[in-house]
Amino acid sequence: MKRLLPFLITILCSLQVLSSDNEALEIALTNVEQDVVAWRRHFHENPELSNREFETAKTIAAQLRELNMDSVVTGVAHTGVVATLIGAKPGPAVALRADMDALPVSEKTGLSFASKAKGQYNDSEVDVMHACGHDMHVAMLLGAAKVLADNRDQLAGSVKFIFQPAEEGAPAGERGGAELMIEEGVLGGKVKPDAIMGLHVWPVPLGTLNYRAGSFMAGAESFTITVNGEQTHGSSPWRGVDPIFVSGQIMTALQAIPSRYLDITKGPAVITIGSIHGGVRSNIIPDQVVMAGTIRTFDAGERDVLHEKLKKTVEGIASAAGAEAIVDIGSYYPITGNDPKLLKRMMPTLDWAAGVDKVVEHPLITGAEDFSFFQEKIPGLFLMLGVNDPGVAAGDSPANHSPLFSPNEDAMIVGVRALVGFAMDYADISKDQ
C-alpha cells in the first residue's frame, strides 16, 4: 500500500516520459546501451589518477563534439570537460555530473578489460584501477548526452554535462575537484543550472536507484594530532614524557566524543585514527608522535561540537601528562544529500527510470562525496545505482575501493534513463515551484 500512491503519481505525473510522443526517446535509450558498455570498458582499461585524467578528457571531449553540442570546454579545473546542449524549447537549465578519476589500486578482477595502467602517487609508481566505478559514471553521462542530443527537439531548456576530475582528492600540493570547477565558473556563464544530478554505482541490488531525503552521505574531513613529549631511555620513562603513552590515552578518549557529547538524534558521527607514527626502536621513548585520522558527521552543529571537544580532549590529556598536543583539522567535504522538495517532485521520473519497485530508500552512508560542493550552490539529487549481480544482496559483494570491485554493467542503462529523465522532466516540475 505504501507504494500505491507513488505508483498513481507516476501514472498521472510522468506522462511526459511515458507518452507515445517519446517513442524516439525509448529507441535512443535502447540504441545507446551498447555504446555505454563499450565506453565503460575503454575507460576501465585506461584509468588515470586525480588531476591526471588527460587521455580520459580527450576521449570524452571527442565523443561530445561528435554529438554537435552547443559548446565543449576542456581544461576546467585542470582536466575537466564541460559541454552544453540547448534544447529546442524554452525552459530552465540543469546540470548532470560524472567524476572521472581512478584510484591507486592493483586490480584483481580478472576481467578481459582489466587495467594494466600505472601512475605516480605520492612520488611512487603505483597500479591504477577504476575501483570506485567512475568509469561507469563517465560512460552513463556520455550515454545520456547522446540520447538528449538525439532528442533535442523534445528538450525544454538546457543541459550542462560536467565531467569532473579529482573527486577522490587532488594530489598533495594541488587543488581540484568540484570546488575548483565551481571557482572556475562551471555553474555560471550563459547557461546557469537551476538544479544538478549525480549518480554513484553502489554494491546493492541490481538496477535499484537508492535515495535518502536530506542528509545522505557524511561530511568528511581529515585531521592530524601531533603529540610532543621528551625523549628518554625506554628503561626510565619517568626521566622524560612519553608521547606514545599519551597518544594511546588520546585515541581511547576520542571514542567517547560521539557517544557522550554529541546529540545522536541529529545524526551519527565517526572519529577514526588511521595512522600513528612515533619512535625508531624498542628501548627509546621518542619525543614526538603524529596521528592522522578522519571525521564523519551528518549535522553541521554537531560537527562544531565535535571539533571543540576534540581539541579540548586532546590538549587536556597531553597537558595532564606534561606533554604538548597540536590538533590540525584539514579540508572539509560537506554533507551530500537530496533536496527534499526536488526529490519528491522527481520521484515519478525515477520510477520511470528504474521501475516502481526499484526506487528504494537507503540508510545513511558514512562515505563522502565532493558533489556536495555543487549542492551548496544549487538544489541537487545524488542517487546510488545498484550494481550487484542478480540475486546478490547488499554487503555480499566486493565494495567500492576493493581490488575485486566488479559492478554489473546491466545497471548502467538505468543510470542513463535517470539522467535523461531528470533533464527532460525538470522543466515540467519546475513550473510548479
**Residues annotated as part of the active site:** 333, 409
HEC readout, the chain: CCCHHHHHHHHHHCHHHHCHHHHHHHHHHHHHHHHHHHHHHHHHHCCCCCCCCHHHHHHHHHHHHHCCCCEEEEEECCCEEEEEEECCEEEEEEEEEEECCCECCCCCCCCCCCCCCEEEECCEEEECECCCCHHHHHHHHHHHHHHHHHCHHHCEEEEEEEEECCCCCCCCCCCCHHHHHHHCCCCCCCCCCCEEEEEEEECCCCCCEEECCEEEECEEEEEEEEEECECEECCCHHHCECHHHHHHHHHHHHCHHHHHCCCHHHCCEEEEEEEEECCCCCCEECCEEEEEEEEEECCHHHHHHHHHHHHHHHHHHHHHCCCEEEEEEEEEECCEEECHHHHHHHHHHHHHHHCHHHEEECCCECCCCCCHHHHCCCCEEEEEEECCCCCCCCCCCCCCCCCCCCCCHHHHHHHHHHHHHHHHHHHHHHCCC
